[in-house]
Structure 1
Amino acid sequence: MGEAGLGIDIGGSGIKGAPVDLDNGTLLVDRVKYPTPHPALPETVAEVVARLTEDLSGHVPSRSPVGVTFPAVIQHGIARTAANVDPSWIGVNVSALLSERTGREVFAVNDADAAAVAEHRFGAARGAVGTVLVTTLGTGIGSALLVDGRLVPNTELGHIELDGRDAETWAAASVKEREGLSFPDWASRLQRYYSAVCRVLWPDLIVVGGGVSREADQFLPLLDLPCPIVAAHLRNTAGILGAAALAHERRATN
């Protein structure tokens, strides 16, 4: 077994965690999951994270930091937005709060950013050089950007403007379902979205995640872009893996 780290993924419905083998990106034991408290206030969420950390602490060294994903823009540990959690999180230093409650060093990261790091370290973009864009097609469009493996945090490329509206309100997977779009019809919207992104970023690789990526063969071949676009390999474990990897890397550079 390689070096172990601990990753925790805070979502709107559940808070999940597991110890991770940081050499090969596998979970050392099955994920442990608790329901997300409602309302998802800082103190009540912190209690669940502390309980999860205690449950899993026997599988990682006591000195290991904890990586935690959070559904918000996270700037130097501080939540600047709040998606699927209570607005009272805005302005809270998530890393500091969770470090205090768990007794371990905690690194908080945006959930999409964590998933992208996991895909680069262990998944569809493993070893990729240059600019890698990872998008998640779901309720909205999540995005994350890496340049030569280094994360550019808190991109919000689902909100670029197309015809005077947020792109995700027109091209997300949830819109496909709501409007009953066929894969070809939806792909035409994705073509416009990804073409607009490519004109700005010129990525070397695009990775597409989200539940709909299981059907990637139904829509990715219909896209004509100036770079490869592939389906994500990691799904439910991506946030945990990426958070644990980032915490380890940040500890090493601090």
Structure 2
Amino acid sequence: MPARILSIDVGGTGLKAAVLNRDGELVSDHLRVLTPKPCPPDLLVKTVKLLVAPFKTYDCVAMGFPGVVRDGRIITAPNLGTDLYAGFALAAKMAKALGKPVRIANDADVQGFAVVKGEGLEMVATLGTGFGTSLFRDGELMPHLEIAHMLANKDKTFDQFIGEKERKKQGNKGWNKRVEKVLPFLYTLVHYDRLYISGGNAKHLTFKLPKNTKIVPNISGIKGGAGLWRQETWK
């Protein structure tokens, strides 16, 4: 297990980074810049390199990315441009740019490493530019479920139905009604024991949450990077 992990949280709105110890606690300042718009892959790599330049000492890199990731390559990037990112070897490109080994996972998966208790079936839902989920069984990350791209209502996917654009369009009151409508679907889908809600828009929730559901800090998206490196192997 590396002693110091540079953890990077890639979002559709902002890019955040900090250095962690083995326990996932920050041992550096927490830095943030806006995500460029548009943000093609090469510009993302360049922007991240500039963001983390102040961090001089770390052993490895963990990155949470808003899309489906496999073997260090991007499969989907709904809020950054799937056409641009599909097949892009982001882990290898970041490793070359930073000179350190890099592990990348979906951003909700990374959040989960920071918040799950490791008991039973636990689910994480992120409310931000889009909508993300991850699922853990007894602390082990399960295969990624890209619920964000499934239809939530008529012709709108979950990303479109409760994402940031729709929150601004509907206002917080209307958006809360939509999120409240969506949450029971998650339970019906997996029958989780606990649900953790995070992401930049979690702070806008106003309705009474279902039982076994709690809001967790958005900084979990960075802290979970240590969990990514606790895995013996990673693809």
Query: 66, 69, 81: which is aligned to 1:71?
Result: 66
> Matches of 1:45 and 1:171 in 2, distance apart?
25
**Are positions 1:207 and 2:196 aligned together?**
yes
Shift of the alpha carbon at 1:52?
A: 4.2
Q: Determine the structure 2 residue equivalent to 1:97.
A: 93
In the alignment, residue 15 of structure 2 is paired with which amino acid? I
Larger helix proportion of the pair: 1
The Cα shift of 1:99 comes to 1.1
Determine whether 1:45 maps to 2:48: no
Equivalenced residues, count: 231
Aligned pairs (5 A) from 1:142-153: 142-153=132-143
After superposition, what is the alpha-carbon deviation per residue over 1:46-101, rounded to whole angstroms, capped at 9, x for unaligned?
2333344443132x3xxx22101222211121101123435322111111111122
Structure possessing the higher radius of gyration over alpha carbons = 1
Matched, 1:229 2:213: yes
For residue 182 of structure 2, the aligned residue among 193, 198, 210 is 193
Deviations 1:126-154 (A, max 9, x none): x2411111112234322111111112243
Instruction: Output the amino acid matched with 1:70.
Output: F
* Structure 2 equivalent of residue 178 of structure 1: 169
Matched, 1:219 2:207: yes
**One-letter amino acid of the counterpart of residue 208, structure 2:** L
**Aligned counterpart, 1:124:** none
- Whether 1:88 aligns to 2:84 is yes
2:230 matched to which residue of 1?
249
- State how far apart, in whole Å, the 2-side matches of 1:95 and 1:71 are: 14
Structure 2 residue runs of 5 or longer lacking an equivalent are none
Shift of the 132–138 alpha-carbon distance from structure 1 to 2, 3 Å rule, reads same
Map 1:91-170 to 2 at 5 A.
Answer: 91-120=87-116, 127-165=117-155, 166-170=157-161
Query: 1:206–1:31: structure 2 CA closer, same or farther, 3 Å change rule?
Result: same
Q: One-letter code of the match for 1:154?
A: H
Identical counterparts, % of pairs: 27
Say if 1:159 and 1:220 are closer, same or farther in 2 by CA, change over 3 A.
farther
Q: TM-score, normalised by structure 2?
A: 0.82
| Cα separation, 1, equivalents of 2:164 and 2:34 | 25
Unaligned stretches of 5+ residues in structure 1: 121-126
Paired amino acid for 1:22: R
Map of 1:31 onto structure 2? 30
| Alpha-carbon distance in 1 for matches of 2:130, 2:80 | 16
Relative to the length of structure 1, the TM-score reads 0.77
The alpha-carbon distance between structure 1 residues 210 and 14, as it changes in their structure 2 partners (threshold 3 A), is closer
129 and 103 in structure 1: CA distance in 2 versus 1, 3 angstrom threshold: same
How large is the RMSD of aligned CA atoms in angstroms? 2.8
